[in-house]
Structure formats: C-alpha cells, structure tokens
Amino acid sequence: MELIKIEGGKSLKGTVKIDSAKNSTVALIPAAILAESPVTLENIPQIVDVKRLGEMIGQLGGHYRYDGDGNEDFIIDSTGIENVPLLDGPVTKLRASYYFLGALLAKFKEVKIGMPGGCYLGPRPIDLHLKGFEALGATVEQDAGVIHMKAERLKGAKIYLDFPSVGATINIMIAASKAEGTTVIENAAKEPEIVDLSNLLNNMGANIRGAGTGEIRIQGVDRLMGTRHAIIPDRIEAGTYIALAAAAAEEVKIDNIIPHHLEALISKLQEMGVDIEVNTDSVTVRGKKTIKAVDFKTSIYPGLATDLQQPLVTLLTQAEGIGKVEDTIYSDRFRNCYELNKMGADIDVVGRTAIINGGKSMRGARVMATDLRAGASLVIAALIADGVTEIGNTYHIDRGYANIEEKLTNLGAKIWRETVEA
Ligand code: EPZ
C-alpha cells in the first residue's frame, strides 16, 4: 500500500499556483468528442481522472495526446470514434465517466455504459440525468449496472430539475447541443464549471445561453467543430489551499484563481478572523492566528461548496470554541472526522452535521483517506500535527490534487511517499 507521509509543524510560506478545474475538465473531455476536428484544452490538470477519461477516448477509437513544452495542452481527436460500449475499466473509476452518456447519445443516438464509479458520499443516483435524456426522446434501460439508451431522434424539450444537479445540468447540456430545436433546462445548477463547458461548446459552434443562471436555453445545431479552450482555475483546489494556509502557514499566496468563485468561503473565513487579502487573481493568507469557530452550512453555488466542508472541518479543529458544519448536499460526507479524531480532534457527527470542539492539538497517526476531499482534510491535519502522519488510500488524493508533494514541499512542508505492506 502506498502512504503519503507528512512530518507536521513546519513553517509554511511562499506561493502555490492553482491548476485548472478538475470538475470542469472532466466534462470538457467527453463534450470534445462531439467536434469533427481536434479540440485543444489548455493547461490541463495533471490528475488521474484526466488519464482515465483519455483511456475511455481510446477505448472508443479516438485519440488524445498531451502537447506543449510542459505537456500543458491536451488534444482530443474524435475522428475514428465508434459507438463502443464502455462497460469496464476506467469507466468504473470515476463518476464523471457518465458525461459520455450525454456525449455519445448526441453523437450516435445510442449509448451503452457501465454505471459510474467515484467517491462514496452517500447515495448518488443519476435519475435526473436519465429524466433529461428521456425528455429529449431517448429510451433508457438499466440492467446489471449497465445503462443502455437509444433515440430515433433527439428533440429539444423543457426540462425541470427537481434538484439543481451539477452533473445532470452538464449531461443534458451536452446531449441537447445537437438535438433538433430548443431545450430549456429549468432549475439548472449555476456552478462556474457549467459556464466553462457552455463556453467550450459555443466555441465549437453550439448555441447555449444562460449558463450560470437557473435557466439555460440550448438551440441544437447539426455540426460542432474543434477549437482551443483555456480551462478555468480549480476553485476547490484553491479553497483547499486557502483552508490549509489558514491552519498551517505563516504566509501563503494562492495564485491563479478567480476570487469571485470563492466568495462564500472567503467571507466565512473572515468571520472566523482569518487574515486573508484578496487580490485580482490571487489571495494571500497569513495563517496560524487565533481564529474563532463559526458554523458552516454547505449549499449549491454560489453558497459554500460541499467539496470544501472537509478541509474546513480540519481548520475548525484549531479554532476557539465549537463549530458546526452541516452538509445539505451529501448525507455521508463526514468519514474524515473519525480519522481526524485518531489524530486528537474532538468531533461528533450527528446525521448531516459535524460538531467540532476546537482548540485541539493534533498528533501524527496512521489514517485513511475515505474520499478525495477527505484526503485533503487529512493532509491539512498532518501539516499541523506533532510528529509524522501516514495517509493511506492516496489514490483518492491524486484524483484531484495535482503535484501535491511538489506544491507543499515548495512551501516548506516535509512530505513524501512510501510503499508498505498492506
Ligand atoms: C459534482 O458532482 C462534483 N463532481 C462534486 O465534486 C460536487 O460535490 C457536486 O457536484 C456538488 O457540487 C464533479 O463535478 C465531477 P450533483 P455531481 O449532481 O454532479 C443528488 C469532488 O470532490 N442527485 O450536483 O454528482 C446527489 O445524490 C466531487 O470534486 C440526485 O438525487 O453532484 C447529491 O445529493 C465530489 N439525482 C446532490 O444531488 C441525480 O440525478 C448533488 O449532486 C443527480 C444528483
């Protein structure tokens, strides 16, 4: 088993440059197969999910390659793509593989895909995606974990989402981009990653209006062509490093971000007394100050992102007083709390709420990452703990945090990997 090991207590300072958004990239790559000529995604994040999506493009008969002197560009060439069922292998490793449902339905009017994988955060159905595809004219069959959809033709429709699901909004947008007529998605998700995808599709020749609002209007088109696209910065990676700096750093500049995407986080941290200076495309955090506990409640964008509650739980272990974090999006996204308690935290989990009794000093321990952002919360705890912390299930962390050792070492952390007998 591979472990990430961290010797805590180092004084961290310097600059960390944030990568492009994972949750945008994983939608852009499947959408790119609708183009009849190559699509170049600039500044691709060097994360495992990109490799897996590339493997799926290969399974379909398409091609992808890294380009640029730093491999920063990712080129998808969908000539040669055939409608091959994606039933096993990479498709089971990440939830975003389900974006190929919308892309292959739009491209071939038929698709067969194994149910997606990804982090366990509580039940994660895809009923809203399938409702959208049916509204566009597809028949949907599910059997033994395989989804099979077919449509004589895809016709625009008015689709109301019972919940503003990010994934369903994205998947329906992709499928509707080549449907006949107009599709209106009501109660659509407003996350920045949806705007980023809309920009890519429109630059490919699609006709999408209203992304970022609760109502998105898609006028289907016959053909989509290749283009170049610069992916937006990763607001969740940025928020993770902001929480990390508040907990563990003297002074750190988090660079290459869009502060507007992090307004909810920044205002809550200021409420805690975190010293955070907001600049045009960066923030500077002066950490390790006396901060006071506040209550957090996650919600849909532009509210506080559920993906940031786990790093924030770790920060609250250092704050004065008792903080409560309620996750209104996922029902079971507090497994990191039990690992943090092994390091000296004092956290109770009651339903969808974690109650953190702050002001605790943390000590190194062997802990396990239970999902991607849980891994991030353990990394932050390890940086402030006395002694060495060993984090298992490192694959979770590598799915969303590119070059984490390099970034943290550059700030002065002592972090390394070791392989041990399981
Ligand atoms: C996206 O997941 C992100 N993943 C998640 O980030 C993020 O936590 C989530 O949005 C919420 O912001 C990617 O973008 C790849 P949802 P997604 O559909 O699309 C329920 C990370 O750490 N729901 O908005 O799956 C669902 O069960 C990951 O980077 C249905 O009931 O999120 C959940 O309770 C984790 N039926 C809620 O909606 C559906 O058909 C939010 O899900 C779809 C969703």
Query: Identity (one letter) of the amino acid at 254?
Result: I
| Residue owning the nearest CA to atom 1 of ligand 1 | 166
How far from 319 is each of 206, 243, 395, CA to CA, in Å?
48, 12, 30
Is 400 near ligand 1, meaning CB less than 6 Å away?
yes
- Tell which one of 23, 50, 301 to mutate to probe ligand 1, the residue whose CB is within 8 A of the most ligand atoms: 23
Sheet of 110-114: strand order equals: 110-114, 146-150, 139-143
Is 154 near ligand 1, meaning CB less than 6 Å away?
no
More confident position, 380 or 48: 380
Atom of ligand 1 nearest to the CA of 400: 29
Mean pLDDT to the nearest integer, 321-347: 97
Residue 393: CB partners within 8 Å, gap ≥ 6?
Answer: 368, 369, 370, 375
Query: What is the reported pLDDT for 129?
Result: 97
pTM exceeds 0.85, yes or no: yes
- Tell which one of 131, 160, 166, 237 to mutate to probe ligand 1, the residue whose CB is within 8 A of the most ligand atoms: 166
Q: Is 69 exposed, middle or buried (0-12, 13-18, 19+ CB in 10 A)?
A: exposed
pLDDT higher than threshold 90 for residue 357: yes
Tokens of 302: 């532009």
Distance 166 CA to ligand 1 centre (A): 6
Kind plus residue range of the DSSP H or E element containing 128: helix 127-135
Is 397 near ligand 1, meaning CB less than 6 Å away?
no
Within its chain, how far is the Cα of 145 from the centroid? 24
Mean pLDDT to the nearest integer, 106-123: 85
The CA distance from 199 to 398, in Å, is 27
pLDDT higher than threshold 90 for residue 88: no
Is 172 near ligand 1, meaning CB less than 6 Å away?
no
Is 131 near ligand 1, meaning CB less than 6 Å away?
no
pLDDT higher than threshold 80 for residue 202: yes
Tokens 């209550």, located at residue: 295
Is 124 near ligand 1, meaning CB less than 6 Å away?
yes
Query: What is the reported pLDDT for 94?
Result: 86
pLDDT higher than threshold 90 for residue 419: yes
Instruction: Report residue 194's pLDDT band, with 50, 70 and 90 as the boundaries.
Output: very high
Query: What is the reported pLDDT for 89?
Result: 87
For 284, the 3-state DSSP assignment is: strand
Mean pLDDT to the nearest integer, 179-204: 98
- Give tens-digit pLDDT for 298-330: 999 999 999 999 999 999 999 999 999 999 999
Portion of the chain with pLDDT greater than 70, in percent: 100
Tell me what the pLDDT averaged over the chain comes to.
96
The CA distance from 23 to 194, in Å, is 9
State the maximum Cα–Cα separation within the chain, in Å, rounded to a whole number: 63
- Give tens-digit pLDDT for 205-253: 999 999 999 999 999 999 999 999 999 999 999 999 999 999 999 999 9
CA angle 254, 256, 103 (to 5 degrees): 125
* Residue 337 a catalytic site member: no
CA angle 300, 303, 309 (to 5 degrees): 90
The CA distance from 259 to 278, in Å, is 7
Sheet of 207-209: strand order equals: 158-160, 182-186, 215-219, 207-209
- Give tens-digit pLDDT for 17-44: 999 999 999 999 999 999 999 999 999 9
Neighbours of 73 (CB within 10 A): 17
Mean pLDDT to the nearest integer, 282-302: 96
Distance 308 CA to ligand 1 centre (A): 13
Is 126 near ligand 1, meaning CB less than 6 Å away?
yes
Of 18, 56, 119, 211, the catalytic one is: 119
Residue 165: CB partners within 8 Å, gap ≥ 6?
Answer: 128, 129, 189
Query: What is the reported pLDDT for 93?
Result: 85
Phi, psi of 245 (to 5 degrees): -65, -40
